[in-house]
Each structure stands twice: as C-alpha cells, then as structure tokens.
Amino acid sequence: MPCLEEFYDIVVVGAGHAGCEAALACARLGLETIMFTVSVDSIALMPCNPNVGGSSKGHLVRELDALGGEMGKNIDKTFIQSKMLNESKGPAVHSLRAQADKQDYSREMRKTLENTEHLTIRQAEVSEIIADGGKIKGVKTFSGAAYYSKAVVLATGTYLNARCIYGEVSYATGPNGLQAANHLTDSLKANGVEMFRFKTGTPARVDKRSIDFSRMEEQFGDKKVVPFSFSTDPDMIQKDQVSCWLTYTNEKTHDIIRANLDRSPLFSGAIEGTGPRYCPSIEDKVVKFPEKERHQVFIEPEGLYTNEMYLGGMSSSLPEDVQHAMYKTVPGLEHVKIVRNAYAIEYDCINSRQLKPTLEFKAIEGLFSGGQFNGSSGYEEAAVQGFMAGVNASMKVLGREQYVLDRSQAYIGVLIDDLVTKENHEPYRMMTSRAEYRLLLRQDNADLRLRAIGHEIGLVSDVDYERTLKKERDIEREIERLEHTNIGANAAVQEFLIKHGSTPLKTGATLAELVRRPELDYVMLKELDDKRPQLPYDTVEQVNINIKYEGYIRRQKQQVVQFKKLESKKMSADFDYSSVKSLRREAVQKLNLYKPASIGQASRISGVSPADISVLLIYLEQLRHGEKKY
C-alpha cells in the first residue's frame, strides 16, 4: 500500500517541555528536525501547576538556560509573579519560582518553534518505531506514514496509554482531555523495551468569581524580580505582578475525605500505577498524616486572561460529588464553582535504567528519550532531559562526542545519573538533597559552571559566552583584591564593626576576613572600602558567596576531585562482569544487568560494595597493562 514517506535527520516525538527543548536543540544545531504532537494547540502545555521553578527545579531551569535551552527565556517572557524561595537560607538553596500565564507560555514557545529554521511541526500520533538490527531507522504514524531519520527522541510525557480517573469515572485520554497515544507502547515492547506504569494527579480549577479572598492570606511576588535566563536584562522584566492566596483545609474537610475513602480509586485498587510521594493527593495526606489538623492550599491564577484558579495542595481522584463537598469546607471556597475536576492520570513510561547517561537506549542505537516518558515528573525535569537527549541525538548524527554532565557539574547530571542508575519506583522529582555537591551547584553560578559547555555544543552565542568569561575575570580579580586589602584597626573601622554587632579588631585584617564574618557581608563593607570597583549585582553576589563560604566550598571541591577519579574510569557496554572472578555474585548480576558507563556509576548501583569497586579497579589495571604488552 502506498504511503507517505519523508526523510529527516532527527524525529522528536512529543511537543511538551521535553519535546520542545529537544526539537529546538536539534534544529538550532542545523539538523533537519520534525516534531510530532497529538495536538498543535497543546505545544508546551502546562497541564498541572501554573508555575515554573521552585526548590531545585529553579536550579534546573537556570542550568538549562546556561547550556542554551529555551525554558528560562520563555518564562521570563510570560511570568505574572516571581519569587526567590529560601532567601533567608544559604545560597545553595535559593531557588527561583515564577507563576506563568499558561496560555501565554504555550503561545510564546510555539512562536519560537515556528520561527526556528530546520524545524517542522506535524500533528499526528506516532504509533511505531522503526528499528532494524538494534538501530533506529525512524517512526510510523497511526495513519501509516513513515518518517525515516538518523535518530529519534521520544518525549511522550504522560500520553502513552493514558487514563484519567476520578471516583468511578475513567476516560482513556491524556491530560486535559487530550487524545492519548495508545499504540506506541506495543511497538516499544515488541522492540524489547521494558515499561512501567506510573501515576500522577492534579487538583481542580475553579472560577475566581466564586472565591472569597477576604478569608485568605495574600501572597505577593518579590519587589525586585530576578530573571531565570542569564541572557535576560533584569531591568526589562520588572512589572506589576498578580497575587496568589493561601488558605487551609480543616477537620471538616478531612472528615469528608475519610468518609469517602472507599470511593477513591487510589484506595479501592482501581489505580494500578505508582504515584509520587512528594505531591500526594489530599486524600493521601489525610491518610498518611492523620495527626495534621490542617493542610495548606495555595490558590494560584492560571493566567491573566482567565478566571480559572489552581487549587495547589488539593489534587485528588475522589468522585465529583465528594470533590465539591470537600472543596466547599475550605475557608474562602464555601461557594466555589469548579471549572475542571481534579483527576489522577495513569500512563506508561520506561524503566529508565535501560538508558545510557547520554539518554540513548543501550539496546537501540540512535533512539533517545527524555521527560516523563523516562519516569520523571515536573516540567523542569522534563525540559532538561529533552534538551540533553536532543543535544546527544544531534551529536550522534553529526559524528561528534556526546555530552554527559556528571553529579559534580549540574543538577541535570544528578537527575540523569539517578534515573539511569538507581531503582526508581515513582515519578522522580528533583530535590536539593539529592545533590551531594549542592554548595557548588548553586542556581547563581549556573552560567559559570555551564556556559562554556553550551558554547562548545553550539547553542550559546559568542556574545553570551564572552559575557560569562568577563564575569569570571571580574570575580577573580575582585576576590584577589579583597584578600590583599588590609584595613587597620582605626576608629572608623572599630565604630563600623560595633555598629554591626561585630567584634572590634585587635590588629589589622583584610577585607576578605571581614566579609567572612557571619554578621557582615560584601555589600555592607562598602563604607570601609573606598577603592571598590563598580560591579554588576550578579558579580557582587559571586564575590560575596565565594569568600563567605570558602571553607565549605573548598571541602566540597576536594570531594569532587575524588569523585572524578572514579567517574573518569570508563567501562565498556559489552564488558562481561562474570569474567571477574572475585566479584560477589550479587554485584556481577547487577553490573551485567545495568552495564554502567564508568566505575563511578558502578559504585552507585545498589548491591555493589566498595570492595567490589576495588576489585574492578584492579581488574581494569591488569587489563590496561595487558593491552600494552600485547
């Protein structure tokens, strides 16, 4: 039967946050790229929370931006409120979060995609992958058309065999009633891909006019907005912001939930997928934490030109009537009108340990994947994986070296390493506690960490890169100056110190020593520092942090040196671990199953002990010398 056939360099399946970043990266690197979506109107859709960033997710967005991704720029264009979280805590855990105008976000991203050369957008359901001899050849759509390519990036999100559920009601649709993709799973399974079934959920959206805000606390944005993107001029984005609102559930709410638990598909067993522990439904919270008298509910606008409000904290899959009753017990929501019901969604995703750290399938060359399809959750987690998958698919096609960020370089590295190394039974969410070197992986220095890599990939312009290099030089020079500027214990200095609750000096001190004092900082010390150069705010921030936390930072840098040693010892994917006699059996099984890319990755596989790693090191050494000899 004749059918449509087309040829591309790269096929991207999906146009959510992962798909958009993947497609943009590929096309911007000059590769002919086609991107599939079940609905062009749902490009860069935010089907759940109306915000971008948050603790550790803000880090991901900034890292993505430093590498040349789009998410940071897009949210800078479309935010309606912005906040730096954890400002009272250490710099490592400061995190940006912005409320988005959802439609605007989607529209701006679509505009960017549509204006990118080498990028084709096509509305169709991809139903098959075409693979031959362990190599990807392209994809087929449900209509029978074939799209041949050198690489494929899968970013199907929550659409595979998706099912939306509340109470006894269940629809075979993707999020927001969009068409599900019901065929690709079978094709993947036929090609030997192991699938999992995960679940997540979303709260109801309600009509703003039916809310009594006088019974809630107003939550404002920051006075001075910090942009996500290192390319955005902060002065250009200061604007009026909308508010969010805070209210609480109470015992009445909880009573209604408890009385109707038997009607919840989560507890009746109608839902088989594994849900995320970090964003539990309200019924989960009530069951798991019975001692809590109330739970917070954040009322967040979905955009500037809609009355819909998002009820953050109250996702649910309880029946419609229970939802209405329970929401109405919350102060301010007594007369609430629901626009869209809360629901849970189940979908197919993969066991991500089938992937290399490059996000390429170990068993199918040229097939890459990113986003919720890989078992993660969240827009930001999806976007960074889509980007890395897109970059590495491009590198593959271009015959260039692929990129793997390690755990000491970026949260992106931690995220992907966790996904491809550790056992994962629920949608994976980023958290700052997952990053062992978080003092080094700050959101404020993402450009200093990653701009050079983005530039080398080819997605960061010379101008942007040059700006980072200059910043680096400025920081270095200023720290040097502070370390070598002595100030005497004169009357003015002593008076300054006493005024700020700091111990007066016995002898002279350098300015750096004073910056290090907990009660002082770089900005405050301006009075004592008449030779201070005029520096941009983000340079000042780096100088202050680097001097203040120098001891801790040095400690982590030493740990990183050790970490890198094992990371740099690469393992071949066809190495047979059963040939190493002294390894324990459990270690052999795990290592043969997951084929780690390096000794470092091997050391993080559960069931592999430090002694096994020592044994492997010796074996490698023997191998290395053996090769030399023969």
By the criterion CB under 8 A, which residues form the site for another protein?
Answer: 49, 55-56, 85-86, 88-90, 92-93, 203, 277-280, 285, 288-289, 292, 295-296, 298, 312-313, 315, 422, 431-434, 438-439, 518-519, 552, 562, 565-566, 580-584, 603, 606, 609-615, 617-619, 621-622, 625-626
Our CB check for another protein shows the closer of 273 and 313 to be 313
Q: Report in angstroms how near the CB of residue 173 gets to another protein at its nearest.
A: 22
Minimum separation from the CB atom of position 293 to another protein (A):
12
In whole angstroms, give the CA distance from residue 187 to residue 146. 14
Q: Is 539 left (phi over 0), alpha (psi -120 to 50) or beta?
A: alpha
CB of 484 to another protein, least distance (A): 25
Residue placing its CB nearer to another protein in the complex, 73 or 295: 295
| Number of Cβ atoms within 10 Å of the Cβ of 177 | 11
Contact 107, 59 (CB under 8 A): no
Q: Which residues contact 393 (CB under 8 A, 6 or more apart)?
A: 10, 22, 26, 151, 152, 153, 360, 366, 368
Q: Which is nearer to another protein, 133 or 610 (CB)?
A: 610
Tokens 């939802």 found at: 323
Closest approach of Cβ 111 to another protein, in Å?
29
DSSP letter at 276 equals P
Contacts of residue 58, defined as CB under 8 A and 6 or more positions apart, other chains included, come to: 85, 95, 96, 97, 228, 380, 443
Q: How far is the CB of 313 from another protein (least distance, A)?
A: 6
Question: 261 or 617, CB closer to another protein?
Answer: 617
Rounded CA-CA distance 541/445 in Å is 9
CA distances (Å), 619 to each of 571, 609, 626, in order?
Answer: 12, 15, 10
Give me the least distance between CB of 536 and another protein, in Å please.
24
Q: Which residues are paired to 170 by β-bridges?
A: 165
Q: How far apart are CA 333 and CA 329, in angstroms?
A: 7
DSSP result, 108-127: HHHHHHHTSTTEEEEE--EE
- CB nearer to another protein: give 19 or 175: 175
From the CB of 298, what's the least distance to another protein, in Å?
A: 7
**Minimum distance between the CB of residue 75 and another protein, rounded to whole angstroms?**
18
Query: Rounded to an integer, what distance in angstroms lies between the CA atom of residue 136 and that of residue 163?
Result: 29
Nearer to another protein, 269 or 610 (CB): 610
Minimum distance between the CB of residue 80 and another protein, rounded to whole angstroms?
Answer: 18
- Give the whole-angstrom CA distance, residue 563 versus residue 545: 23
Nearer to another protein, 268 or 614 (CB): 614
Question: Apex CA 592: angle with CA 590 and CA 593, to 5°?
Answer: 65
Q: Whose Cβ is closer to another protein: residue 182's or residue 219's? A: 219
Nearer of residues 291 and 462 to another protein, judged by Cβ = 291
| Of residues 208 and 564, the one with the C-beta less far from another protein | 564
Select from 281, 297, 370, 481 the least CA-distant residue to 23: 370
Nearer of residues 20 and 297 to another protein, judged by Cβ = 297
Cα first-last separation, the chain: 56
Q: Which of 145, 214, 135 is nearest to 3 (CA)?
A: 145
Are 12 and 36 in contact by the 8 Å Cβ rule? The answer is yes
187 in Cβ contact with 129 (< 8 Å) = yes
CB 562 to another protein: min, Å: 5
Q: Which is nearer to another protein, 112 or 377 (CB)?
A: 377
Give least dist CB 206 to another protein, A. Answer: 16
DSSP tag of 29: T
What's the min distance (Å) between Cβ of 282 and another protein? 10
The secondary structure of 73-110 as a DSSP string is HHHHHHEEEEEEETTTS-GGG-EEEEEE-HHHHHHHHH
Burial annotation 446-482 (CB, 10 A radius, 16+ → b, else e): bbbbbbbbbbebbbbeeebbebbeebbebbeebbebb
Rounded to a whole number of angstroms, the minimum distance from the CB of residue 93 to another protein is 5
| Residue ranges of E strands in 456-533 | 486-487, 509-510
Longest Cα–Cα distance in the chain: 93
Fill in the amino acid letter for 3. C
- Residue 224: half-sphere exposure toward Cβ, Cα within 13 Å: 5
Return the number of the residue (477 or 564) whose C-beta is nearest another protein.
564
- Closest distance of CB 432 from another protein, Å: 6
CB of 581 to another protein, least distance (A): 7
Q: DSSP 3-state assignment of 355?
A: strand
CA–CA distance, 27 with 519 (Å, rounded to integer): 50
User: In angstroms, what is the minimal distance from the CB of 49 to another protein?
Assistant: 6
